[in-house]
Amino acid sequence: NLQMGEEIDRCGLRREICRAKGAAPGSKVAILGAAGGIGQPLALLMKMNPLVSVLHLYDVVNTPGVTADISHMDTGAVVRGFLGQAQLEDALTGMDLVIIPAGVPRKPGMTRDDLFNINAGIVKTLCEAIAKCCPNAIVNLISNPVNSTVPIAAEVFKKAGTFDPKRLLGVTMLDVVRANTFVAEVLGLDPRDVDVPVVGGHAGVTILPLLSQVKPACSFTDKEIDYLTDRIQNGGTEVVEAKAGAGSATLSMAYAAVKFADACLRGLRGDAGIVECAFVASQVTELPFFASKVRLGRGGVEEIYPLGPLNEYERVGLDKAKKELATSIQKGVSFIRK
């Protein structure tokens, strides 16, 4: 019913005008791929986030339904839906933060790199529109293979003349969330009290948990280190196999994406001491991109921390990670430069 739709839109507009007058400051956030397995719970959780004033939900299918549903939640953010390529630019205009979970997920037997052929083109198209409509937005890139899609996004932004390495972040938060959970299980602690740095990238051996730097300080047996490293590196595959063809992690990913987006929003607001792991343009190693701890602030990534002291096990893991990462990064770069 168009009339009712218009009325809903007017209410949303009224609330936006109130906010513009200073009633409730907050950030404008767009989710691209908002109707998907990650997108829907991510939209739900972002609608609950008090730092969000406007939430734009974009997908190539089903956004009217998802938007109508989410918009009934009695939280502050104004929600708007955008459907299909023709509405992409409207979805992006004025956004402070763009979260991208658009693209196909794995099925059992696939690697994340097997998604490259489809997802590379999707990420390219979306980033071209970001460069045009909200070149200063912070971008949280979730679509796999992250080790290649982040370099693709960077190349698109470079081509458009808008690349700011501080504002492009590959989301590796799920690796940290898993690492905290699995380490807490082994130590018999509450996972909320555990902090495990996970560096490198987001696929197999490129996911490198630094178990020698776990907080609170602790020690593991060799057997525990092998078990934990393997479980953290293959956490995604564990979910893919359990879902048996129905996709990959969506709920834990939405949780991780919101945890990360919330950190970015607190950084944008000017909060001090916001530190998370992310896959970013980096000089921590000789590779052009690398995941490590970063400090988030008003400009995005304000500081990238060095890896700190590694033990022999981690040094061997780092060499393996860098070898695979170099290939994945180059594949992403070549996709745009070819």
Catalytic residues: 202
Contact indicator for 75, 69 with CB cutoff of 8 Å: no
Q: Contact region for ligand LMR (CB under 6 A) — 81-89, 154-162, 235-243, 289-297?
A: 235-243
How is residue 244 written in tokens?
A: 């048996």
CB 4 to ligand NAD: min, Å? 25
Q: Give residues with Cβ within 8 angstroms of 232, minimum separation 6.
A: 175, 178, 179, 182, 196, 198, 207, 209
Work out how close the CB of 104 gets to ligand NAD at its nearest, in angstroms, rounded to a whole number.
6
Q: Does 297 bind ligand NAD (CB under 6 A)?
A: no
Instruction: Let me know: does 43 contact 21? Beta carbons within 8 Å.
Output: no
Distance, CA of 265 to CA of 49 (rounded, Å): 10
Stretch that binds ligand LMR, among 92-100, 158-166, 234-242, 276-284 (CB under 6 A): 234-242
* Angle, alpha carbons 140-120-100 (nearest 5°): 20
Select the residue interacting with ligand NAD from 119, 140, 147, 285 (CB under 6 A). 119
x-marked contacts with ligand LMR along 56-95 as a string, rule CB under 6 A: ----------------------------------------
CA distance 249 to 242: 10
Q: Could you say whether residue 231 binds ligand LMR (CB under 6 A)?
A: no
Give whole-number Cα distances, 184 to 164, 176, 196, 296, in Å. 36, 12, 10, 26
Taking 3-state DSSP, the helix, strand and coil percentages for the chain, each rounded to the nearest 5, stand at 50, 20, 30
Instruction: State how far the Cα of 34 lies from the Cα of 41, in Å rounded to an integer.
Output: 9
Report 60-79 residues binding ligand NAD (CB under 6 A).
60-61
- CB-count exposure of residue 220 (10 Å: 0-12, 13-18, 19+): middle
Please identify, among the stretches 34-42, 73-81, 90-98, 179-187, the one whose residues bind ligand NAD according to the rule CB under 6 A: 34-42
Q: Residue 105 or 197: which CB sits closer to ligand LMR?
A: 105
Q: Of the candidates 119, 147, 248, 282, which one interacts with ligand LMR according to CB under 6 A?
A: 248
Q: How far apart are alpha carbons 295 and 56 in whole angstroms?
A: 26
Q: Which residues fall within 8 angstroms of residue 161, CB to CB, at 6 or more apart? A: none
Q: Of ligand NAD, ligand LMR, none, which one does residue 46 interact with (CB within 5 to 8 Å by kind)?
A: none
Among 115, 138, 177, 321, contact with ligand NAD (rule: CB under 6 A): 115
Q: At residue 79, what is the residue type? A: V
252 in a known ligand binding site: no
Rounded-to-integer distance, Cα 141 and Cα 150, Å? 7
Both tokens of 13, joined, read 């507009």
Select the residue interacting with ligand NAD from 105, 204, 297, 332 (CB under 6 A): 105
Question: Pick from ligand NAD, ligand LMR, none: which does 100 bind, CB < 5 to 8 A by kind?
Answer: none
Annotation-wise, does 143 bind a ligand? yes
Among 132, 130, 133, CA closest to 141: 130
Cα separation, 238 vs 198, whole angstroms? 18
Tokens of 233: 């590196």
| Candidate segments 35-43, 232-240, 268-276, 280-288, binder of ligand LMR by CB under 6 A | 232-240
Please pick, from the candidates 41, 76, 81, 103, the single residue that binds ligand NAD as defined by CB under 6 A: 103
Residues in binding site for NAD(+)? 33-39, 59, 119, 142-144, 253
List residues binding ligand LMR (CB under 6 A).
105-106, 112, 144, 174, 235-236, 239-240, 248-249
As annotated, the binding site for substrate includes 106, 112, 144, 178
Task: Point out which residues bind ligand NAD (CB under 6 A).
Answer: 32-33, 35-39, 59-61, 101-106, 115, 119, 122, 125-126, 142-144, 146, 171, 174, 202, 247-250, 253
